[in-house]
Amino acid sequence: NSAMAGDNEDDYEPIPRLDTCCCCIQLKLGVLILCVLQMIVAGCFIALIGSFILWGGSLGNELPLVGGAFTLLALLIILILQLAEFGFALYAFSDIRKAMPDGIRYYYMFKLVSLGLSLLVFILTSDWTSYEIFNLFVTTTVSLYFIWCIWSLHEALMLGGEAAFKAGFSLDEASQNSPLLSNVRKFDDKFAPKAKESAFV
């Protein structure tokens, strides 16, 4: 389910903004669940790859969860990405709970960079079997959709008002923490008294 940020052509955005996650879950709740799942998956990858690097002989010659990326350099890159994934997901989770946009913005930016690096690792290490190509297509498609969800939540919070309310934020959160609405309030506080004075002159 997606919606444009505005109701007329002047508010048109080139990328549609989602109102829900997976068509049925409130966007805020969906991204919170995504953050938790990403932290769990990242933690499993960190433990698995760390164990393989330290005690590789005891785990065999292959890492089934890493696909074709079996070189030490590729494993180190994936390990660093998973550590960063955990940190950014935790940051986003915290800021979503506080209705602050920074952690959400940094998270979807990181996800884009992480996706690009993952594709690079795949190109350098893959055997290009049909299974690996299919797996790449599925994981890339899912990653892009989740990035879209995170970006949509960020945009809804930035817009505030009805957009933030539909995404799952309360009216108080939507009005207090939206940077765009904060700028409007500052403008009104600055110029409204002067406008009233000029009206009585």
pLDDT tens digits for 39-98? 999 999 898 888 877 776 444 455 544 444 456 677 787 788 899 999 999 999 999 998
Taking a C-beta distance cutoff of 8 angstroms, is the pair 26, 165 a contact? no
162 pLDDT more than 50: yes
Least confident segment among 64-78, 97-111, 136-150: 64-78
pLDDT band (50, 70, 90) for residue 13: low
Structure tokens at 119: 């594709």
14-37 in b/e burial notation, b at 16+ Cβ within 10 A?
eeebbbbbeeebebbebbbebbee
Q: What residues are paired with 26 via a beta bridge?
A: 20
Where do we find the tokens 């995170």?
150
For residue 175, give both structure tokens: 């009005």
Q: How many CB atoms lie within 10 A of CB 90?
A: 17
d(CA 165, CA 59): 49
Q: Phi then psi for 177, rounded to 5 degrees?
A: -110, 0
The pTM score is: 0.73
**pLDDT reading at 186 higher than 50:** no
Residue 15's pLDDT is 76
CA distance 182 to 138: 40
Residues 184, 5, 174, CA angle at the centre, nearest 5°? 50
Question: Residue 14 in contact with residue 5, Cβ under 8 Å?
Answer: no
pLDDT of residue 5: 42
What is the pLDDT confidence band of residue 137, given thresholds at 50, 70 and 90?
very high
* Most confident region among 4-13, 112-121, 150-159, 188-197 by mean pLDDT: 150-159
